[in-house]
Structure 1
């Protein structure tokens, strides 16, 4: 026994030294788009989404994004065609519990019951007065939350938001891979514009384009960012205050833009407006664009008469695949400078590499 004690002591000391030498599981520390520090014990595996559309962003980073979603708010959901495509591959999407309705309502009780690792919210939630109490309750319950933005300032915030998601879900390499592709495509456009210094066409963007009212448009932010990146000048920036505004038909005719853009999607079908995007073929999209610009006033716009009218999928305003749209706009604005671009191929490549499901559709359309 006297010989055994020293041996046991040495073994105990060695075991203790091994424990002390083994690094503890490293915390994950990341900074969200608002500058908030978010600390997690491990990569998030149970996430509550404040917007259903952010499932598509998770899908860019993970082969099975549905497995990471513990619950979601029924706000800004996936369109029916896209959700059906996800459901076919990931049947578990039907079992994701709701934690709130539209209009940014969030049931904190439902969230707490799910015991998520992270609640992922949009930038607008950070300043929405009705979210002040839910955020305080999440804080008191010890549930981490964070803000991302792919909408308000897409050119500024999309890649940092993706990098944040990569960091908190253990997919940094995948986020960096997409960032490299995105930046290479964007640099090609920016470098040519900087070298050639072409005149910027004056562009009007009619958002949620329909026959019922004319003409809702955008000021700074969102589609304005895409127009600017493609070498155009959004006249809405000069004519409406803030991010959104409305321009009368008379003012639009007087402004006489060089290019007319209209945004639409499945959500405009019930209003007889521009329909394109997931589930629509080019013929249906083209017919709806033709019907839209046949309206009095729009039909006489120089941009329409001279073939510089383009219908675009409205949901590019919340999709990192907007780099393909920027390429298409660059071709429209400066056809000689960007004749070699292939935005359709860019869109196919991006969805093929960074989306787990392929959704057929038409993402932009001309009159011919």
Structure 2
């Protein structure tokens, strides 16, 4: 009788143990529709894209799980962001680089030598590295595709849900998704009720990395600023451009006479550094205002309605591609429909988001501005 009881207890314990193992296994379906199976919670990551999102979901401690980043060119293409993140999280400087921060180049040999449990990549990295990805998967590295570039609620929230599962932070991911969805649903549901003559404002948006003399990139309806403008029913001059991003001809911009101009800024370390638009982490507002004012002095711009009516604005290009970027949709909507969204505080919402989900990030900077009237 005693032996039967012991055996029963043993089988019961084994079943419970097996159940816990099975409960730890999970599947995710990534942005590319790929089903990836995990037997247990991954312990090490290479974050080839979206480190800010990774840490906002995982918390500052999640950096301990990161064994490498894409750091090549990070300081040159996002100088302010690089300074703020590496000073707040010094370990980032010690992590090896496995590729380009602002391109799709991945160092396969380095990735294989580090052999993380998971490699997190973006959609263009996935498209440009198909053979390498097969090699990683054969080596036992789980490859997961995320996307925060398309500026869609679906991709932003699915990517965040995936990070929540991978990092064991589902509740945090759910809270972030709730904030994101509710904020954008409010904007979109409000705009859809407006009359036809209230929407369709003609907008020119340029990311001014090349300075005053050369026009920088504008974005079509499928990506970044162009996607935001489409979502809020603006008439973006570049909406139907054949490429996701490209510079528009200056003659075309002037002939279209936009009613509103947004100039995107950052700190790009290149030969146009002296007069490019400056926005984002570490940039004082006085400098941003001075640079923005200079763009209104471009040849022919004095004839534009946006300039004559002082509807010229600066936005931080580097702040897109993460879960806090809903605040830029709020800002652009407030610019186009000031009375409709007068009670929204996009800058306050942006700062509160970082304070809530990554309070260790110590920063100052300028993220959204209206050109000061002289």
TM-score by length of 2: 0.89
Distance apart, 1:174 and its partner CA: 0.6
Identify if the C-alpha distance between structure 1 residues 108 and 248 changes in structure 2 by more than 3 Å, giving closer, same or farther.
Answer: closer
Q: Deviations over 1:194-248 (max 9, x none)?
A: 223322211111123522312531112221121133342212114x223123321
Name 2:370's counterpart in structure 1.
366
Distance apart, 1:9 and its partner CA: 5.3
| Alpha-carbon RMSD | 2.1
Q: Deviations over 1:296-355 (max 9, x none)?
A: 122331111111111111123322222111111111101121111111211121111122
Name 2:292's counterpart in structure 1.
289
Task: Pick the aligned partner of 1:57 from 35, 53, 57.
Answer: 53
Name 2:207's counterpart in structure 1.
207
Task: Pick the aligned partner of 1:352 from 352, 355, 362.
Answer: 355
Task: Pick the aligned partner of 2:16 from 9, 13, 21.
Answer: 21
Of 76-85 and 89-98, the range deviating more from structure 2: 76-85
- 1:215–1:248 Cα contact (<8 Å) kept: no
Secondary structure at the aligned position of 2:74 is classed as coil
- Counterpart mapping for 1:248-267 below 5 A: 248-267=249-268
Name 1:312's counterpart in structure 2.
315
Distance apart, 1:93 and its partner CA: 2.1
Name 1:37's counterpart in structure 2.
35
Identify if the C-alpha distance between structure 1 residues 328 and 100 changes in structure 2 by more than 3 Å, giving closer, same or farther.
Answer: closer
Task: Pick the aligned partner of 1:324 from 318, 321, 327.
Answer: 327
- Counterpart mapping for 1:1-368 below 5 A: 7-8=2-3, 10-22=5-17, 23-25=19-21, 26-51=24-49, 54-63=50-59, 64-75=61-72, 77=74, 79-101=78-100, 103-128=103-128, 131-197=129-195, 198-209=198-209, 210-214=211-215, 216-221=217-222, 222-238=224-240, 240-267=241-268, 270-271=271-272, 272-356=275-359, 357-368=361-372
Distance apart, 1:80 and its partner CA: 3.9
Provide the C-alpha distance between the structure 1 equivalents of 2:365 and 2:109, rounded to a whole number of angstroms: 38
- 1:50–1:119 Cα contact (<8 Å) kept: yes
Distance apart, 1:19 and its partner CA: 0.6
Secondary structure at the aligned position of 1:195 is classed as coil
Secondary structure at the aligned position of 2:268 is classed as helix
Secondary structure at the aligned position of 2:145 is classed as strand
Larger radius of gyration: 1
Provide the C-alpha distance between the structure 1 equivalents of 2:203 and 2:193, rounded to a whole number of angstroms: 22
Secondary structure at the aligned position of 2:221 is classed as coil
- 1:154–1:317 Cα contact (<8 Å) kept: no
Identify if the C-alpha distance between structure 1 residues 185 and 268 changes in structure 2 by more than 3 Å, giving closer, same or farther.
Answer: farther
Identify if the C-alpha distance between structure 1 residues 340 and 231 changes in structure 2 by more than 3 Å, giving closer, same or farther.
Answer: farther
Distance apart, 1:270 and its partner CA: 4.4
Secondary structure at the aligned position of 1:212 is classed as coil
Q: How many residues align?
A: 358
Distance apart, 1:60 and its partner CA: 1.1
Secondary structure at the aligned position of 1:266 is classed as coil
Secondary structure at the aligned position of 1:150 is classed as coil
Identify if the C-alpha distance between structure 1 residues 278 and 125 changes in structure 2 by more than 3 Å, giving closer, same or farther.
Answer: same
Of 27-36 and 84-93, the range deviating more from structure 2: 84-93
Q: Which runs of 5+ in 1 are unaligned?
A: 1-5
Distance apart, 1:17 and its partner CA: 2.8
TM-score by length of 1: 0.90
Secondary structure at the aligned position of 1:204 is classed as strand
Provide the C-alpha distance between the structure 1 equivalents of 2:87 and 2:281, rounded to a whole number of angstroms: 15
Of 84-93 and 158-167, the range deviating more from structure 2: 84-93
- 2:79–2:269 Cα contact (<8 Å) kept: no
Identify if the C-alpha distance between structure 1 residues 345 and 61 changes in structure 2 by more than 3 Å, giving closer, same or farther.
Answer: same
